């Protein structure tokens, strides 16, 4: 599922946090598996991202493939990894906390991978981030460079 953001919450060990709707399919799946992956997608996958936001994984056999995103297994954890992602984090769930109507999932990053667009920092000539600007019958993103 698309998430509005993830936060870095520890350097050592490396930890990240995401807020997810506890009734959501992905949230339930991540808790049951005790792990999940985070994928950073380029703007060219805007349409796929829109589909991931509107189709629930509870309704289709393979939601990523349904959205046109091939996936494989993580290098360290048994998590689905989007093959075309610009960067991927493989995350082991460490704790969860109810934050209002969402659940904050805190996870340790067990493996990280990036494509050529990231060396010491992002090369924005190669990587065009998806910057959410609202919903107009689908995802919209900032069209600038």
Ligand X SMILES: Cc1cc2nc3c(=O)[nH]c(=O)nc-3n(C[C@H](O)[C@H](O)[C@H](O)COP(=O)(O)O)c2cc1C
Q: Does 131 engage in binding with ligand X (CB under 6 A)?
A: no
Q: Does 2 engage in binding with ligand X (CB under 6 A)?
A: yes
Residue of 41, 24, 20, 4 lying closest to 135 (CA atoms):
4
- Which range in 36-44, 52-60, 73-81, 87-95 contacts ligand X by CB under 6 A? 52-60
* Long-range contacts of residues 117-123, Cβ cutoff 8 Å, at least 24 apart: 117/86, 118/86, 118/87
Minimum CB separation from ligand X for residue 45, in Å? Answer: 13
Q: Does 99 engage in binding with ligand X (CB under 6 A)?
A: no
Among 17, 20, 30, 64, binds ligand X (CB under 6 A): 20
Provide CB contacts within 8 A for 26, sequence distance 6+: 1, 20, 36, 57
- Of 116 and 143, which CB lies nearer to ligand X in the complex structure? 143
- Of 7 and 76, which CB lies nearer to ligand X in the complex structure? 7
- Per-residue burial over 65-102, b if 16 or more Cβ lie within 10 Å, else e, is eebebebeebeebebbbbeebbbbbbbbbeebeeeeee
Minimum CB separation from ligand X for residue 120, in Å? Answer: 28
Question: Footprint of ligand X on this chain (CB under 6 A)?
Answer: 1-4, 19-21, 24-26, 53, 56-58, 63, 132, 139
């Amino acid at each position: 599922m698309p998430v509005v953001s993830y936060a870095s919450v520890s350097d050592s060990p490396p930890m990240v946090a995401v807020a997810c709707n506890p009734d959501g399919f992905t949230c339930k799946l991540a808790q049951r598996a005790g792990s999940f992956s985070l994928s950073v997608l380029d703007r060219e996958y805007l349409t796929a991202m829109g589909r991931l936001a509107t189709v629930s994984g509870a309704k289709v056999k393979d939601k990523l493939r349904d959205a046109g995103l091939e996936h494989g297994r993580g290098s360290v954890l048994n998590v689905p990894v989007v093959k075309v992602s610009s960067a991927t984090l493989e995350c082991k769930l460490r704790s969860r906390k109810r934050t209002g109507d969402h659940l904050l999932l805190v996870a340790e990053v067990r493996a990280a991978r990036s494509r050529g667009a990231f060396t010491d920092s992002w090369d924005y000539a190669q990587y065009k981030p998806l910057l959410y600007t609202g919903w107009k019958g689908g995802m919209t993103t900032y069209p600038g460079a």
